[in-house]
């Protein structure tokens, strides 16, 4: 269960304030950028399969759109809060900026548990969400996408509802759609592959052969799976993954000393990304507590699940062997844990750089939809590699030049670009 004292938005603001002090930003600029420009709270009534009506709480936050339309996913999660959505929207602003794509930060959510909803109920929830924000989103205003516990199917339902309301075809209103419905080739792999592209560059700079490394992955959703896939293709050894178990309401870590086999794990994984524990044991996996991933004797840690995973309480359990933390998830490391990692000399590739592959490929999808011309998978992944590599090298160079922590260097580049756009527009 999440820590109720944890507030992702306060952490996002703390991270911003630290860099705002470093840059010497004036008060008006701080006030504009440490809070969202707009946030929408609404209720979504849904008729359930049993004939009753259940009312769900929904959100959409647009943090800043000075550099382009807001962009960001829509989560379905039983513990969703407006503060989490605001934090994720803010991080998305910096994410789009650090990889230099012309978009701003947005995020959406619904307080619900899709495990307990039928497909028809989920469809009605998606359509209800769109009806509440139909005039506040659009291809040139705010472009949603999938996030935790939402999928390409959810996005098509949302797009269809938007098109019904606006009486036209607007495939660029939403990204993360299936192929054939305006989806981009390479989008499924994009976030996980982006994580490994920047990891590859970091290891190269450190003079470490990726084929001689081991990594522990937290999570077994889309990001983690494709990160494991590409990391394995490059010759690295993925030692373990962790994932949530709905039946027991807790996570477990699945470990094999000679490396996990992604394909065999996928064969025993249900549609919610939950691995069958009994089948895993039959295949020779150790089934450990959910937080065991963090203490494994590996070179690389890849938190690729939810926020607030590496904290001041558990950072001391990280093996002395660990050299790099690559944040595949949004906000997985708390500020007090950051201090511990910094003191220990562990190289951190921050979330809004490391996992920017998803929004970068969403941008590619949006471009393709708006011009009604689609690229090959190789073209998409090549463009993605180029974007991620360029962004990583810029942040890494600034970190070395000014002796900054990587997270701070990424923030400096991202915030400066947004400040400049706000100034050009005359907002500040």
Q: Which domains does the chain have, with CATH numbers?
A: 36-185 (3.40.50.10860), 188-354 (3.40.50.720)
Once rounded to an integer, what is the mean pLDDT over residues 153-169?
Answer: 97
Confidence of residue 350 (pLDDT cuts 50, 70, 90): very high
The answer to whether 327 and 333 are in contact (CB under 8 A) is yes
What tokens were used for 27?
């008060």
Once rounded to an integer, what is the mean pLDDT over residues 68-78?
Answer: 96
pTM confidence score: 0.90
State how far the Cα of 341 lies from the Cα of 120, in Å rounded to an integer. 46
Once rounded to an integer, what is the mean pLDDT over residues 65-92?
Answer: 95
What tokens were used for 87?
């934090």
Confidence of residue 3 (pLDDT cuts 50, 70, 90): low
The pLDDT score that the predictor gives to residue 4 is 56
Number of other residues whose CB lies within 10 A of the CB of residue 404:
17
The pLDDT score that the predictor gives to residue 246 is 82
Residue that wins the pLDDT comparison between 247 and 167: 167
The pLDDT score that the predictor gives to residue 245 is 85
How far does the chain reach from its first CA to its final CA, in angstroms? Answer: 41
What sections of 24-168 are H helices per DSSP?
A: 27-33, 82-98, 119-133, 152-166
Exposed / middle / buried, residue 371 (Cβ in 10 Å: 0-12, 13-18, 19+): exposed
Confidence of residue 15 (pLDDT cuts 50, 70, 90): confident
The pLDDT score that the predictor gives to residue 271 is 79
The answer to whether 76 and 111 are in contact (CB under 8 A) is no
Distance of CA 149 to the CA centre of its chain: 12
Confidence of residue 2 (pLDDT cuts 50, 70, 90): very low
Residues 6+ apart with CB under 8 A from 408: 18, 19, 22, 399
Number of other residues whose CB lies within 10 A of the CB of residue 214:
18
Among all residues, which ones are annotated catalytic? 107
pLDDT of 44 > 80? The answer is yes
Measured torsion, CA atoms of residues 304, 72, 160, 42, in degrees rounded to the nearest 10: 110
The pLDDT tens digits of the residues spanning 294-323 come to 999 999 999 999 888 999 999 999 999 999
Confidence of residue 272 (pLDDT cuts 50, 70, 90): confident
Residue that wins the pLDDT comparison between 162 and 146: 162
Neighbouring-strand partners of residue 142: 70, 138
Neighbouring-strand partners of residue 275: 269
Segments of 19-103 assigned E as strands = 38-47, 53-64, 70-77
The pLDDT score that the predictor gives to residue 148 is 85
Segments of 290-428 assigned E as strands = 300-303, 324-326, 347-349
State how far the Cα of 191 lies from the Cα of 197, in Å rounded to an integer. 10
What tokens were used for 120?
């028809």
- Picking from 9, 16, 7, 13, the residue whose alpha carbon sits closest to that of residue 407 is 16
The pLDDT tens digits of the residues spanning 240-258 come to 999 988 878 889 999 999 9
């Amino acid at each position: 269960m999440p820590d109720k004292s944890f507030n992702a938005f306060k952490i996002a603001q703390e991270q911003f304030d630290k860099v705002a002090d470093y840059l010497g930003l004036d008060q008006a600029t701080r006030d504009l950028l440490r809070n969202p420009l707009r946030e929408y709270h609404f209720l979504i009534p849904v008729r359930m399969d049993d004939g009753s009506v259940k009312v769900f709480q929904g959100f959409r936050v647009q943090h800043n759109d000075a550099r382009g339309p807001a962009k960001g996913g829509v989560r379905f999660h039983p513990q969703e809060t407006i503060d989490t959505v605001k934090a994720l929207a803010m991080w998305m602003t910096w994410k789009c900026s650090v990889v230099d794509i012309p978009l701003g930060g947005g995020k959406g959510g619904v307080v619900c548990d899709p495990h307990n909803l039928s497909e028809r109920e989920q469809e009605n929830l998606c359509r209800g969400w769109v009806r509440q924000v139909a005039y506040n989103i659009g291809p040139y205003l705010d472009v949603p996408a999938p996030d935790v516990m939402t999928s390409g199917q959810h996005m098509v339902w949302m797009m269809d509802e938007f098109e019904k309301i606006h009486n036209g075809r607007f495939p660029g209103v939403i990204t993360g759609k299936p192929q054939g419905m305006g989806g981009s080739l390479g989008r499924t792999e994009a976030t996980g592959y982006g994580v490994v592209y920047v990891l590859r560059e970091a290891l190269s700079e450190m003079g470490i052969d990726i084929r001689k490394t081991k990594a522990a992955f937290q999570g077994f959703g889309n990001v983690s799976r494709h990160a494991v896939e590409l990391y394995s293709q490059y010759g690295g050894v993925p030692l373990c993954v962790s994932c949530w178990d709905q039946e027991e309401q807790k996570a477990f870590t699945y470990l094999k000393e000679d490396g996990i086999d992604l394909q065999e794990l996928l064969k025993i994984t249900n549609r919610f990304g939950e691995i069958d524990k009994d089948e895993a044991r039959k295949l020779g996996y150790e089934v450990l507590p959910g937080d065991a991933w963090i203490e494994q004797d590996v070179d690389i840690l890849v938190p690729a699940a939810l926020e607030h995973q590496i904290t001041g309480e558990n950072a001391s359990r990280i093996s002395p062997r660990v050299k790099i933390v690559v944040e595949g998830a949004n906000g997985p490391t708390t500020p007090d844990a950051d201090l511990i990692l910094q003191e220990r000399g562990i190289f951190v590739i921050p979330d809004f750089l490391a996992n920017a592959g998803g929004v970068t490929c969403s941008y590619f999808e949006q471009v393709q939809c708006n011009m009604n011309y689609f690229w090959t998978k190789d073209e998409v992944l090549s463009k993605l590699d180029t974007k991620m590599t360029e962004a990583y090298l810029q942040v890494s160079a600034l970190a070395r030049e000014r002796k900054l922590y990587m997270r701070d260097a990424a923030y400096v580049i991202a915030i400066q670009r947004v400040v400049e756009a706000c100034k050009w527009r005359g907002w500040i």
